[in-house]
Amino acid sequence: MKRRALITGITGQDGYYLTKLLLKKSYEVHGLVRRSSTPLDPIFKSPKLKIHRGDITELDRISRLIDKVRPHEIYNLAAQSHVKDSFNLPEYTLNVTALSTLRILEAMREKHPKARFYQASSSEMFGTVTEFPQTESTPFHPSSPYACAKAYAHLLCANYRKAYGLHVNCGILFNHESPRRGESFVTRKIAMGAARIKLGLQKKLILGNLSVRRDWGYAPEYVEAMWKMLQQKKPSDFVIATGETHSVQEFVEEAFGHVGLEWRKHVGKDKRFLRPSDNPELRGDPSRARRTLKWKARTKFSKLVKLLVDAELDALQ
In 10-161, the DSSP E strands lie at: 28-33, 49-53, 73-76, 116-122
Residue type, 191: A
Catalytic residue among 81, 86, 100, 122: 122
The Cα–Cα gap between 170 and 123 comes to 11
**Catalytic residue (choose from 124, 221, 253, 312):** 124
Rounded CA separation 88/32 (Å): 26
Contact call for residues 73 and 114 (beta carbons, < 8 A): no
CA distance 199 to 313: 8
What are φ and ψ of residue 217, in 5° steps?
-130, -175
To the query of whether residue 122 is one of the catalytic residues in this protein, the response is yes
Query: Which position among 27, 118, 146, 218 bears the catalytic label?
Result: 146
Alpha-carbon separation of residue 109 from 26, 67, 105 (angstroms): 26, 11, 6
So which residues are the catalytic ones? 122, 124, 146
